[in-house]
């Protein structure tokens, strides 16, 4: 492959730098790309069998390790990107892989709830077991022996990598922690879902500092200059002076462009930071001039949402391009996660936190965190759009009078799916919770904790209630008035991303990150056959098309696929 033709066609979820020489990017297109930082040209690439989540350079820049949803981490030589080792000890997505500060070990974390330690060729040395849910992040301590990790169980754990012993367990009540860093003196800094940074000193004294207006997605440290960088889903980046003994001293702050994904970034030089994007390559921010360089970031084709409207099939995705039956009709200029129609009016929204009148690209409402999903709701008083957000809020936007919009905090975790039936709005979250809200009062009437053994990725209505899907590879049917579900194991091999039902609610389709679709017959209570796989990319969304009596699937490859039950 010609190096000049190498670029990403899916969002960049991970990024690492080595000095001012190399940049590596990990993508949802299964690619790991090595770039020359001086020319911004791709040098070589490696591939995984599924999404690449994160990557990290060895301290001397001769090795690169990548973590993937194919359940492996892989070790590569630099700059030729020759595969020299595979870590395959995990039973679920590998969320992160990182070298120890001395460059002699590699640690990995996984959604299977474990961490592991390996040598530079990927040979297994020790497993660290204790978290009760998926692990979000970890960081090496400067002693090359200790790890700090945070998980969906709400704990921060300290590990001895030589013995596998868990030395300490800390819990910060009421918040999720996506990211943490360990300072030279042993202080742990943790970014919380409420936008604050928790500072935990070596004596376990905890101090909170207000940092962002919504969830913090990433913290990283520049040890040489004693600076901390925080990225939030409020589209802000802050740089903090660690020499002051308090995070109240900001050195610099900026609002980043819409193409930036707050999931990964790293210092390239003393005054330049490279960022992951929802585009073909990375972006940079020059601190001295406060200039963002996004000129090289091209749009990518992925479809994130599909909806059957009254006059065609609507879809929208990573590039923010709204299409009807395959033809572009509007460009919203930002990644979108949902599209719905109400009486001929099209609504869309996503990463920027904006609810758009999509046909005119008019901003109707702006929230402080990304928007994940939406559903049309009709109450006794009005018709409105209910939008589920990353921050756990539901936005109730009055269609006829957006000024009457109400915002209600429903969950502590991100809302991944939302549906409405018989006067009840159901919401499912990243922490496996389901809540039911009354359409007329907007009050929560019941809740179900641990509805799945993992993230609730999506939900829909069916003929007798609500259907949910999850990372646990099951379809669960929640019949009206029943608090325990009927559980049906699917044949998917990767996390189930989306679900939709037929107009009568008697057929339910599920789509996975592995590109497979499987249909369930509600009346027969079984799957109609083995999964079909129309694409090697993941299935992002599903809708029922009454005209063709088929499910329409949106894919991260940018295409729509028709599946007849």
Residue 560 lies in a domain: yes
Q: Final residue of a domain: which of 293, 308, 325?
A: 293
Side-chain half-sphere exposure of 204, counting CA atoms within 13 A: 9
**pLDDT number for residue 248:** 78
Q: Final residue of a domain: which of 293, 320, 354?
A: 293
**Of residues 178 and 518, more confidently modeled:** 518
Residue 322 lies in a domain: no
Q: How far apart are CA 533 and CA 541, in angstroms?
A: 14
**pLDDT number for residue 15:** 98
Residue 520 tokens, joined: 């369930």
Q: Dump pLDDT digits (tens) for 175-185.
A: 678 899 999 88
**pLDDT number for residue 174:** 57
**Across 210-214, 270-274, 430-434, which has the greatest mean pLDDT?**
270-274
Is there a contact between 55 and 15 (Cβ–Cβ < 8 Å)?
yes
**pLDDT number for residue 175:** 66
pTM of the model: 0.91
Q: How far apart are CA 79 and CA 308, in angstroms?
A: 47
**pLDDT number for residue 154:** 84
User: At 134, is the pLDDT very low, low, confident or very high (cuts 50, 70, 90)?
Assistant: confident
Q: Does residue 3 register a pLDDT over 50?
A: no
Residue 82 lies in a domain: yes
Residue 422 lies in a domain: no
Antiparallel, parallel or unpaired: β 507-512 and 135-140? unpaired
Q: How far apart are CA 62 and CA 82, in angstroms?
A: 11
Q: Dump pLDDT digits (tens) for 327-382.
A: 999 999 999 999 999 989 999 999 999 999 999 999 999 998 899 999 999 998 88
Residue 433 lies in a domain: no
Dihedral (Cα; 326, 328, 330, 336), 10-degree rounding: 50
493-522: average pLDDT: 96
Q: How many domains does the chain have?
A: 2
**Domain that includes residue 92, residue range:** 3-128+204-293
User: At 4, is the pLDDT very low, low, confident or very high (cuts 50, 70, 90)?
Assistant: low
The position carrying tokens 């098309």 is 545
Q: Dump pLDDT digits (tens) for 247-265.
A: 878 899 999 999 999 999 9
Share of the chain above pLDDT 70, in %: 98
CATH number at residue 257: 2.130.10.10
Residue 362 lies in a domain: no
**pLDDT number for residue 402:** 86
Is there a contact between 485 and 476 (Cβ–Cβ < 8 Å)?
yes
**pLDDT number for residue 173:** 67
Antiparallel, parallel or unpaired: β 250-255 and 236-241? antiparallel
- Greatest CA span in the chain, whole angstroms? 66
Residue 508 lies in a domain: yes
**pLDDT number for residue 2:** 43
- Nearest CA to 398 among 378, 387, 376, 382? 382
Q: Final residue of a domain: which of 293, 313, 339?
A: 293
Residue 191 lies in a domain: no
2-18: average pLDDT: 86
């Amino acid at each position: 492959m010609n190096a000049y033709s190498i670029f990403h066609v899916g969002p960049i979820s991970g990024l690492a730098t080595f000095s001012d020489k190399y940049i590596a990017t990990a993508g949802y297109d299964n690619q790991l790309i090595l770039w020359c930082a001086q020319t911004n040209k791709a040098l070589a690439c490696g591939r995984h069998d599924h999404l690449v989540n994160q990557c990290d350079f060895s301290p001397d820049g001769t090795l690169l390790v990548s973590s993937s949803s194919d359940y492996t981490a892989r070790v590569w030589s630099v700059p030729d990107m020759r595969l020299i080792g595979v870590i395959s000890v995990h039973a679920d997505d590998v969320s992160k892989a990182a070298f120890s500060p001395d460059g002699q070990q590699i640690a990995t974390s996984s959604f299977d709830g474990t961490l592991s330690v390996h040598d530079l060729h990927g040979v297994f040395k020790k497993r660290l077991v204790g978290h009760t849910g998926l692990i979000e992040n970890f960081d090496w301590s400067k002693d090359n022996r200790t790890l700090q990790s945070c998980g969906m169980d709400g704990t921060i754990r300290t590990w001895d990598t030589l013995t596998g012993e868990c030395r300490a367990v800390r819990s910060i009540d009421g918040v999720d922690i996506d990211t943490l860093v360990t300072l030279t003196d042993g202080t742990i800094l943790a970014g919380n879902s409420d936008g604050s940074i928790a500072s935990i000193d070596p004596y376990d004294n905890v101090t909170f500092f207000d940092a962002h207006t919504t969830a913090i997605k990433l913290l990283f440290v520049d040890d040489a200059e004693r600076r901390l960088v925080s990225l939030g889903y409020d589209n802000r980046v802050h740089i903090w002076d660690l020499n002051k003994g308090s995070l109240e001293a900001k050195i610099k702050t900026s609002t980043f462009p819409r193409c930036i994904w707050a999931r990964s970034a790293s210092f390239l030089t003393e005054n330049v930071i490279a960022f992951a994007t929802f585009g073909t390559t990375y972006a940079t921010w020059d601190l001295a001039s406060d200039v963002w360089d996004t000129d090289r970031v091209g749009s990518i084709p992925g479809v994130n949402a599909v909806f059957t409207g009254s006059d065609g099939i609507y879809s929208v995705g990573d590039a923010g391009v709204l299409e009807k039956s395959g033809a572009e009709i509007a460009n919203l200029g930002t990644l979108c996660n949902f599209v719905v129609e109400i009486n001929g009016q099209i609504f869309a929204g996503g990463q920027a936190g904006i609810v758009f009148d999509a046909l005119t690209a008019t901003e109707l409402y702006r929230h402080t965190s990304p928007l994940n999903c939406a559903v049309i709701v009709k109450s006794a008083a009005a018709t409105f759009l209910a939008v589920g957000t990353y921050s756990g809020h539901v936005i109730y936007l009055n269609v006829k009078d957006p000024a009457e919009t109400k915002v209600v905090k429903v969950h502590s975790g991100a809302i991944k799916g939302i549906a409405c039936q018989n006067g009840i709005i159901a919401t499912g979250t990243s922490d496996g919770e389901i809540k039911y809200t009354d359409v007329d009062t907007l009050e929560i009437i019941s809740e179900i904790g641990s509805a799945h053994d993992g993230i609730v990725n999506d939900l829909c209505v069916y003929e007798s209630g609500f259907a949910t899907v999850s990372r646990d590879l099951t379809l669960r049917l929640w019949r009206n008035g029943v608090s325990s579900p009927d559980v049906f194991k699917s044949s998917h091999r990767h996390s189930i991303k989306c679900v939709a039902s037929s107009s009568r609610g008697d057929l339910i389709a599920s789509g996975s990150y592995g590109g497979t679709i499987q249909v369930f017959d509600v009346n027969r209570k079984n799957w109609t056959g083995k999964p079909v796989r129309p694409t090697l990319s993941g299935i992002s969304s599903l809708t029922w098309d009454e005209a063709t009596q088929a499910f329409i699937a949106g894919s991260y490859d940018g295409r729509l696929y028709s599946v007849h039950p």
